């Protein structure tokens, strides 16, 4: 079959559209753990949680009964149980929450479009939290 130029152009346009659609649906990869060693709650993690989580996860009525302003609170977990699997960041619930990969979108943290206007964690911050969990959550 001899293709006209307009047929060729149509095929080209369709191929490009499909490519863009596929790229848009592919989930962003979870950022890798930071290579930093000696990561601790006090030095590396608390500042991140203070900035992006503690507004809702501290005080008398913390959301999901989860307190993130102390190491004890983080290790204790929420009304539903532990949020960290010590030594295994890839399987830690909190990492699924902050990378928006938890099955339940209500668990995506910080919540999308929250009134406090707190934005998502950066890949660098997620990497530090992963390294901290992998290194024993000290």
Identify the CA nearest to 69 among candidates 60, 10, 37: 60
Q: Give whole-number Cα distances, 98 to 22, 24, 93, in Å.
A: 24, 20, 9
| Selected binder of ligand HEC within 30, 33, 45, 53 (CB under 6 A) | 53
Q: Is the dihedral of CA 80, 115, 113, 57 positive or negative?
A: negative
In the shown chain, the binding pattern of residues 1 to 20 toward ligand HEC, with x for contact by CB under 6 A and - for none, equals --------------------
State which of positions 86-125 bind ligand HEC (CB under 6 A).
Answer: 93-94, 97-98, 106-107, 109-111, 114, 116, 118, 121
Q: Distance (Å, rounded) from C-alpha 13 to C-alpha 132?
A: 46
List of residues contacting ligand HEC (CB under 6 A): 52-53, 55-57, 63-64, 66, 68, 78, 80, 83, 93-94, 97-98, 106-107, 109-111, 114, 116, 118, 121
């Amino acid at each position: 079959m001899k293709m006209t130029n307009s047929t060729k152009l149509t095929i080209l346009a369709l191929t490009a559209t499909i490519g863009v659609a596929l790229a848009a649906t592919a989930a962003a990869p979870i950022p890798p753990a930071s290579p930093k060693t000696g990561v601790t709650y006090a030095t590396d993690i608390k500042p991140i949680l203070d900035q992006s989580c503690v507004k809702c996860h501290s005080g008398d009525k913390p959301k999901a009964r989860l307190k993130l302003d102390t190491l004890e609170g983080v290790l204790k977990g929420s009304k539903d149980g532990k949020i960290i699997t010590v030594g295994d960041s890839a399987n830690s619930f909190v990492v699924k929450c902050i990378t928006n990969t938890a099955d339940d979108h209500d668990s995506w943290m910080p919540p999308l479009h929250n009134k406090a206007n707190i934005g998502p964690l950066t890949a660098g911050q997620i990497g530090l939290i992963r390294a901290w969990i992998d290194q024993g959550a000290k």
